Structure 1
Amino acid sequence: MSSEILSVLEYMEKEKGISRDDMIATISSAIRNAALKGINAGQELKVEINPKNGALQAWSIMHVVDSVAEPATEIHIEKAHLYNKEAKVGDYIEKEIDPAYLGRIAAQTARQAIMQRIRQFEKERIYDDYKDSVGDIVTGTVRRRERGDLIVDLGKAEAILPPRERVPGEDYAPNERIRCLLVGIETTPRGPELILSRSSINFVRRLFELEVTEIADGTVSLQGMAREPGYRTKVAVDTSDPKVDPVGACVGARGARVKSIVRELGGEKIDIIRYYQDPQEMLEEAIKPAIPRNIRIDESQRRIYFEVSEDDLSVAIGRRGQNAKLTSRLLGWRLDIGKEKQVAHGFDDRREAAIRTLQDRLGISVEKSAMLVDSGLASVEVFEGVEAADLIDMGLSEEEAATVIEKVSEARA
């Protein structure tokens, strides 16, 4: 039995991190309590284990009397002198007993108690071992499924990846390696439980901090993030160093850095944009490749209304509205997206617009402007090489021709 105990002590110390003294106290107490429930009931026992070789010793604590009434707990003075020559009536002596006499039932009960105490030790150590790792990325091995949860072995403890913290479409087989964010330690009747996540926005944040050295050292900062797990993540980055391109730093040479993160996220798309304090500039960056037009900003309601062309409408909204939702969360503004109205301009409309423009810019009458437009001079830009004599031939007076030439020169200066 001593070899078995020694093996337990060494295994728990090396593999589980439970100190030898703690295990000895647990095993000794378990054996003693189990024996007292068996054939040694009613006795007072003392159990010790040698920490070096695992040897088990047991003693029965006996009350020295001159007339024995309870043989299980009392010993006659003459017999007591066999164990302690200086014993006197009223003293207590330790009578060594063979551990085998503690009984097989006691041994089985002790084994159960030991395993229960070991599990308790492990649970107590979970919090101490992982309390400083909350918010960090951990790596483990998928073990099994329990009631929909994925059980992940982290080495010193098992953790839970609940359905709510998984990415839609991702599936893992037993013994597969997995990286997750440790989001918290929950207290349950069964002890502390480690909760993992792959859908948290902070999982992507930590991946960027691990992959991009400029973020780790503070040169580049993550000013805003929005994520739809399994679909797309938008990241707004900024820098305090004008010599550093924050977007380029996150993308990496030939996209190496962002590709590494995309692989870890199972192909989830990542948009990295430059951060701007101005909401309109941020909108124009975040909604690309769609181009917002007719932008109106309501600062009191934190709402932005804008229009996009019919071709850009599906891009701006995205599949099931996800692109618009991500952009809204990234900016912190509510977005109202409309379709830009297309106005068809006919020949007459364009002619009228050209006439009004020449009238305003050259300071001549509507009739004279119409005369110039009908002669092919529909804008100031086409007056190149036109002289006053040409305008007189078209019907303008000398004074009007000189004025037009002067106005054209000023407009083109």
Structure 2
Amino acid sequence: MNTEFLDALHDLEKEKGISVDILLDAIEAALLTAYKRNFGSVQNAKVTIDRDTGDFRVYSQRLVTDKVEDERMEISLEDARAINPNYSLGDVVETEVTPKNFGRIAAQTAKQVVVQRIREAERNIIYDEYVDREGDIITGVIQRIEQRNAYIELGKTEAVLAPSEQIPGENLYPGMRLKCYIVEVRKTTKGPQIMVSRTHPGLLKRLFELEVPELHEGVVELKSVSREAGSRSKIAVYSKDENVDPVGACVGPKGMRVQSIVNELNGEKIDIVKWDPDPSKFVANSLSPSKVVAVEIWEDEKVARVIVPDYQLSLAIGKEGQNARLAAKLSGWKIDIKSESQMKEIYPQYGETSDYYDEDSYDDYTEGYDDDLSDEYLDDNSGEPVDVEENIVDEEVPK
């Protein structure tokens, strides 16, 4: 070892961010292990490296004692004072025992230690960089797909997109660029493992924050998200500024903002509704695009009974109950959906005493049932309205 070796360590410090002192301490410990392994020494030993010249020395350490039981570990006071008159009982005498052929072993060991420390430092740097980004969004390129796991290249490292975190029906292939949500960063023996997701509701939230400046600036708040990846999602937004339309801000001019997110998620439908501090109004909004005539709520049980026009019942429930399910997740309320004809049988005056009553929706229902009936809810063969009564799941609500 010489000054060139120290210069190389200083260059590594600048390039990799690893302190020279840390490297030298590690090399000293490795050299000590190599010395004991190669020379079969059981005595106490110490390896030192001169920080100025790079020269190394091996010293044996023996304790000064009255009675010597092991000459490899102890030395008498008389012998110690023969070396230096200032020694006294309990002191440690250091004697240089550097082997003649230790230079080759030292060089090889130092190389291994430096390479190992560089790898550890790079892993720690990558871990520290990404551990603080949990819950954030990243963009990467799929490098390979093995056993349905997609490995996404992120520069110095890669992320793992597990099958359970992939959007159903999405066709992934090597070279594909996509955005993912960082779910977890694990520290393993092989380096940091970054787990990402395409199905997490947080991905939808981060995508809107990227596309909508008002969300990033805090003018518009994203209150809640409910998502069934690959099929449909709902978000609730709110603005304290009365002059700002939160829904319009997220939709964007001609729907450009929300459309770019839909394209990123391969056509996943997104409903944007207005959040309201009044739970009854928020529950009504969450069932969009269905019209709601009235809402009754029970605060203690977190249950809401929603009344919709008969022709809107299937729309409110959604395909396989999806719309109602997403609305319940979005609002945090258990929702029981009833049609007007059902409610009139058990509660004729529901419109006058409900927590939420939409007169416009009620007028639309009473004036033009057939006009508002969408072809989507007509039987393909007969052209008659589809009977959706069998799809209704009655839930017990407090009386």
TM-score (norm 2): 0.62
**In 1: Cα distance, 2:322 partner to 2:99 partner:** 76
Query: SS of the counterpart of 1:255?
Result: helix
Deviations 1:177-215 (A, max 9, x none): 443333344466777644333322222222222322212
1:255 corresponds to: 255
In 2 relative to 1, CA 210–24 (structure 1 residues): closer, same or farther, beyond 3 Å?
Answer: farther
Query: SS of the counterpart of 2:55?
Result: strand
Alpha-carbon contact 1:45-1:61 (below 8 Å) kept: yes
What amino acid does structure 2 have at the position aligned with 1:233? S
My pick for the range that moved more, 173-182 or 41-50, is 41-50
2:296 corresponds to: 297
What amino acid does structure 2 have at the position aligned with 1:303? A
Query: SS of the counterpart of 1:37?
Result: helix
**In 1: Cα distance, 2:6 partner to 2:172 partner:** 38
**In 2: Cα distance, 1:9 partner to 1:152 partner:** 34
2:334 corresponds to: 334
Shift of 1:289: 3.6
**In 2: Cα distance, 1:154 partner to 1:303 partner:** 46
Unaligned runs of 5+ in 1: 65-69, 74-85, 343-413
Alpha-carbon contact 1:181-1:196 (below 8 Å) kept: yes
**In 1: Cα distance, 2:333 partner to 2:286 partner:** 12
Task: Determine what percentage of the aligned residue pairs are the same residue.
Answer: 37
What is the alpha-carbon root mean square deviation over aligned residues? 4.3
1:129 corresponds to: 129
In 2 relative to 1, CA 164–48 (structure 1 residues): closer, same or farther, beyond 3 Å?
Answer: farther
Unaligned runs of 5+ in 2: 63-69, 74-81, 88-92, 343-399
In 2 relative to 1, CA 109–242 (structure 1 residues): closer, same or farther, beyond 3 Å?
Answer: same
Alignment of 1:233 onto 2:233: yes
**In 1: Cα distance, 2:7 partner to 2:146 partner:** 34
**In 1: Cα distance, 2:22 partner to 2:142 partner:** 31
Shift of 1:5: 8.7
2:55 pairs, out of 53, 57, 72, with: 57
What amino acid does structure 2 have at the position aligned with 1:25? D
Alpha-carbon contact 1:167-1:199 (below 8 Å) kept: yes
Alpha-carbon contact 1:40-1:102 (below 8 Å) kept: no
What amino acid does structure 1 have at the position aligned with 2:317? I
Query: SS of the counterpart of 1:38?
Result: helix
Shift of 1:297: 1.6
Deviations 1:93-122 (A, max 9, x none): 546666x64556x76666555555445444
Shift of 1:247: 1.4
1:245 corresponds to: 245
**In 1: Cα distance, 2:319 partner to 2:262 partner:** 19
**In 1: Cα distance, 2:174 partner to 2:51 partner:** 41
Alpha-carbon contact 1:160-1:194 (below 8 Å) kept: yes
Alpha-carbon contact 1:297-1:304 (below 8 Å) kept: yes
1:210 corresponds to: 210
Alignment of 1:46 onto 2:47: yes
What amino acid does structure 2 have at the position aligned with 1:204? L
1:138 corresponds to: 138
1:385 corresponds to: none
In 2 relative to 1, CA 194–247 (structure 1 residues): closer, same or farther, beyond 3 Å?
Answer: same
**In 1: Cα distance, 2:165 partner to 2:257 partner:** 25
**In 2: Cα distance, 1:322 partner to 1:13 partner:** 56
Shift of 1:165: 3.3
Deviations 1:315-335 (A, max 9, x none): 333333222211121222223
2:274 corresponds to: 274
In 2 relative to 1, CA 36–292 (structure 1 residues): closer, same or farther, beyond 3 Å?
Answer: same
What amino acid does structure 2 have at the position aligned with 1:253? P
2:223 corresponds to: 223
**In 1: Cα distance, 2:180 partner to 2:10 partner:** 32
**In 2: Cα distance, 1:63 partner to 1:306 partner:** 88
**In 1: Cα distance, 2:241 partner to 2:150 partner:** 43
What amino acid does structure 2 have at the position aligned with 1:46? V
Query: SS of the counterpart of 2:132?
Result: helix
Q: Which has the larger radius of gyration?
A: 1
Alignment of 1:152-163 (within 5 A): 152-155=152-155, 157-163=157-163
Shift of 1:234: 1.0
Alpha-carbon contact 1:35-1:102 (below 8 Å) kept: no
In 2 relative to 1, CA 5–213 (structure 1 residues): closer, same or farther, beyond 3 Å?
Answer: same
Shift of 1:30: 2.3
Deviations 1:266-308 (A, max 9, x none): 3322211222344454444433443345x45242541224344
Q: Between Structure 1 and Structure 2, how many residues are aligned?
A: 318
What amino acid does structure 1 have at the position aligned with 2:47? K
Higher RCO (C-alpha 8 Å, min separation 6):
2
1:360 corresponds to: none
TM-score (norm 1): 0.61
Alpha-carbon contact 1:63-1:92 (below 8 Å) kept: yes
Deviations 1:29-51 (A, max 9, x none): 32442343124745745253869
In 2 relative to 1, CA 127–318 (structure 1 residues): closer, same or farther, beyond 3 Å?
Answer: same
**In 2: Cα distance, 1:49 partner to 1:139 partner:** 47
**In 1: Cα distance, 2:251 partner to 2:57 partner:** 71
**In 2: Cα distance, 1:34 partner to 1:291 partner:** 79
Alpha-carbon contact 2:46-2:61 (below 8 Å) kept: no
1:179 corresponds to: 179
**In 2: Cα distance, 1:4 partner to 1:176 partner:** 44
What amino acid does structure 2 have at the position aligned with 1:297? E
**In 2: Cα distance, 1:213 partner to 1:315 partner:** 32
My pick for the range that moved more, 245-254 or 135-144, is 135-144
2:387 corresponds to: none
Alpha-carbon contact 1:247-1:272 (below 8 Å) kept: yes
Alpha-carbon contact 2:13-2:19 (below 8 Å) kept: yes
**In 1: Cα distance, 2:323 partner to 2:140 partner:** 33
